[in-house]
Structure 1
Amino acid sequence: MGKLKDRYIRFDWAIKRLLRDKANFAVLEGLLTVLFEDKTQIVEILESEGNQLAETDKFNRVDIKAKNSKGEIILVEVQNTREVYYLERILYGVAKTITEHISLGESYGNIKKVYSISIVYFDLGKGNDYLYHGQNRFIGVHTSDELQISTKQEDAILPKYPREIFPEYYIIRVNEFDKVAKTPLEEWVNYLKTGEIEPDTKVPGLSEAREKLKYYSMAPAERYAYDEHLNAIMIQNDVLSTAKLEGLTEGRSKGLAEGRAEGRAEGLAEGLAEGRAEGLAEGRAEGILSTAQNLKAMGLSIEDISRATGLSKEDIVKL
């Protein structure tokens, strides 16, 4: 029985089904406290368009809107599937949140600061770090000083930096973490990646997760669904990585234009990811057929399509 207590539910599943429960707020509060290096308390979980629990939403965005004790809004998003316009979507989500939480005609002074935290389990760009942070700073082009704005607060005019008002962005690239966890943040990212928690951890949120997110505490049906979720993600990542490699190799060997190579890569990703949505073997076959149809519509040769998808030439001709 010793092995059973060491397995915990992965964060991407927990945030969708368990962490919206007030009794489990301490887990998410721990992550935010470690990330911000400031004790963060969630006042309430706000509604969000990404809260669907449907099977078809298995790989879609999973986000929650939290509000801390200062009334500031925190967006937490988990994304398993590669998305080309991911940064644009982050920007849209923040802008939408700002407008949702201020009424028409209300003073702009009531706009709340927004923190956007993206936990991504796919290859997002190039970089050597697993954690990136961005915020708005207005720097003098010639003087290099940081602009301060006078603002009214509690009946007094006080100086404030734009970064204290504008949104802040955190991107955690989970798959890029390959260190031995020594700091609280590293312990958290290691858990995000592996689902493993040190038995003697004192890190905020993780000690609570050890009690609330035990794998073997789930009902059998829920445990089966969770296992299928992990299996589907593993298969999907393998298929997409293979498709990406094959696409790049074939593109170079055939001397295709960069635009066509990118378009083909998108066709592969879209068709194969769709096939994985059900997490079944037949879904993979459907995704490959969809990919082949896309490539055929783009005018690629039967030989090229066969090489990229593994389908026989006879099957491709019939599409």
Structure 2
Amino acid sequence: MSARLPRKLITFDWAMKRLLRSKANFEILEGFLSELLGEDIFILEILESESNKESRRDKYNRVDLKVKNCKGELIIIEVQFERELDYLQRMLYGTSRVITEHQKESQAYATLVKVISVNILYFDFGHGSDYIYHGTTTFTGIHDHDKLELDIRQQKQYGKIQINNIYPEYYLIRINNFNRIATTSLDEWIYFLKNEDIKDEFKAKGIQKAKKSFSLLSLTEKEQLAYARYQDDLRYEASLVESNYGLGRMEGKEEGIEIGIEQGIEKGKLEVANRLVEKGMSAEEAAAVAGIPVELLRN
């Protein structure tokens, strides 16, 4: 008897575009965010943003989903497939844009919205061994090395306990660094994000509903065709990026070899000229014989 093949599931980025915007599927997104953030997340609504577009050509390398939870916090989820050296700056820009979009001119700074940025990266980014990184803002004393805390009045004004609860938080999920079996409930979600497969024994919050809802077979024929086109777009874009990246490395390597050869030739000419000078030839004559500028020899 042949082994049963895993049921084909659609990718998380496609689900964010088509399925997770429905209240009927909030449970899935709540499950993923609850496991990642380490607290129960309840979504009130999906908010539209400038990058939430549907056409085939608009930013198919990135999918934005902006949600509001029951605490009034905004959570941005981005899926990124292409290499971007300035991705950290783009994360900062994204959170700053969301903050300003939701702040009215007449409102006090104390009402600034809290933003959590979740970034699912399918390319090698940065240097580090972990596959999930969490970034917050804290203030540490230069002399006493103590951590600055909010006083009681500030806690009441902001409705927050710690300073880092005011500023944006960032989660970087480096999918390529996950090369292990799922040992925690969060790992089960990361396993799905990498392998597009959910095992029957997985028990993470919301993940079994995702297995049922994300089945490719549950899509209509029209949706299946749209999903196939979307996957083709991603593969084509990835091919272009890798080709350009590889070509750039090759050209850089060849250019480096050429520069090295030229430098080696110049060094050899200089050594010849120096030996001629040692044998009594003038600097001008030695430089002329070796074919180098006399200034180079004198320096």
TM-score relative to the length of structure 1: 0.74
Query: What is the aligned partner in structure 2 of residue 226 from structure 1?
Result: 227
**Alpha-carbon deviation of 1:197?**
0.3
Alpha-carbon distance between aligned partners in 2 of 1:173 and 1:30, rounded to the nearest angstrom: 19
2:61/2:234 contact within 8 Å kept? no
Alpha-carbon distance between aligned partners in 2 of 1:134 and 1:44, rounded to the nearest angstrom: 25
1:124/1:173 contact within 8 Å kept? yes
Higher-Rg structure is: 2
Alpha-carbon distance between aligned partners in 1 of 2:130 and 2:97, rounded to the nearest angstrom: 28
Cα 1:155–1:37, aligned 2, differ >3 Å: closer, same or farther? closer
Report the AA paired with residue 169 of structure 1.
Answer: Y
Query: What is the aligned partner in structure 1 of residue 263 from structure 2?
Result: none
Secondary structure of the residue aligned to 1:198 is coil
Question: Identical aligned pairs, as a percentage?
Answer: 41
1:59/1:80 contact within 8 Å kept? no
What is the total number of aligned residue pairs between the two structures?
257
Query: What is the aligned partner in structure 2 of residue 50 from structure 1?
Result: 51
Query: What is the aligned partner in structure 2 of residue 300 from structure 1?
Result: none
2:30/2:41 contact within 8 Å kept? yes
1:150/1:159 contact within 8 Å kept? no
Query: What is the aligned partner in structure 2 of residue 186 from structure 1?
Result: 187
Secondary structure of the residue aligned to 1:163 is helix
- Listed as ranges, the matches of 1:20-169 within 5 Å are 20-57=21-58, 59-150=60-151, 152=153, 160-169=161-170
Alpha-carbon distance between aligned partners in 1 of 2:248 and 2:215, rounded to the nearest angstrom: 40
- Listed as ranges, the matches of 1:187-202 within 5 Å are 187-202=188-203
* Alignment RMSD (CA, Å): 2.6
Query: What is the aligned partner in structure 2 of residue 255 from structure 1?
Result: 256
Secondary structure of the residue aligned to 2:125 is coil
1:77/1:119 contact within 8 Å kept? yes
Cα 1:250–1:43, aligned 2, differ >3 Å: closer, same or farther? same
2:110/2:157 contact within 8 Å kept? no
Alpha-carbon distance between aligned partners in 1 of 2:116 and 2:168, rounded to the nearest angstrom: 6
**Alpha-carbon deviation of 1:165?**
0.7
Report the AA paired with residue 164 of structure 1.
Answer: N
Cα 1:135–1:219, aligned 2, differ >3 Å: closer, same or farther? same
**Alpha-carbon deviation of 1:176?**
2.0
Alpha-carbon distance between aligned partners in 2 of 1:190 and 1:35, rounded to the nearest angstrom: 13
Alpha-carbon distance between aligned partners in 2 of 1:66 and 1:40, rounded to the nearest angstrom: 11
**Alpha-carbon deviation of 1:69?**
1.3
Secondary structure of the residue aligned to 1:43 is strand
Query: What is the aligned partner in structure 2 of residue 236 from structure 1?
Result: 237
- Deviation string for 1:104-125 (max 9, x for gaps)? 1212222221111011122222
Alpha-carbon distance between aligned partners in 1 of 2:22 and 2:158, rounded to the nearest angstrom: 40
Cα 1:49–1:73, aligned 2, differ >3 Å: closer, same or farther? same
**Alpha-carbon deviation of 1:161?**
2.8
1:121/1:175 contact within 8 Å kept? yes
**Alpha-carbon deviation of 1:188?**
0.5
Secondary structure of the residue aligned to 1:56 is coil
Alpha-carbon distance between aligned partners in 1 of 2:156 and 2:239, rounded to the nearest angstrom: 58
**Alpha-carbon deviation of 1:232?**
3.5
Report the AA paired with residue 186 of structure 2.
Answer: L
1:151/1:158 contact within 8 Å kept? no
**Alpha-carbon deviation of 1:151?**
5.4
**Alpha-carbon deviation of 1:40?**
0.5
1:43/1:68 contact within 8 Å kept? yes
Cα 1:156–1:74, aligned 2, differ >3 Å: closer, same or farther? closer
1:12 pairs with 2:10: no
- Deviation string for 1:9-36 (max 9, x for gaps)? 1101111111111111111111110001
**Alpha-carbon deviation of 1:253?**
2.3
Report the AA paired with residue 146 of structure 1.
Answer: K
**Alpha-carbon deviation of 1:39?**
0.8
Report the AA paired with residue 181 of structure 2.
Answer: V
**Alpha-carbon deviation of 1:239?**
4.2
1:59/1:79 contact within 8 Å kept? no
Which deviates the most, 171-180 or 24-33? 171-180
2:43/2:70 contact within 8 Å kept? yes
**Alpha-carbon deviation of 1:158?**
8.8
Which deviates the most, 159-168 or 99-108? 159-168
Secondary structure of the residue aligned to 2:85 is coil
Which deviates the most, 199-208 or 3-12? 3-12
Cα 1:217–1:125, aligned 2, differ >3 Å: closer, same or farther? same
Alpha-carbon distance between aligned partners in 1 of 2:186 and 2:158, rounded to the nearest angstrom: 37
Query: What is the aligned partner in structure 1 of residue 297 from structure 2?
Result: none
**Alpha-carbon deviation of 1:217?**
0.7
Alpha-carbon distance between aligned partners in 1 of 2:106 and 2:151, rounded to the nearest angstrom: 22
**Alpha-carbon deviation of 1:135?**
0.5
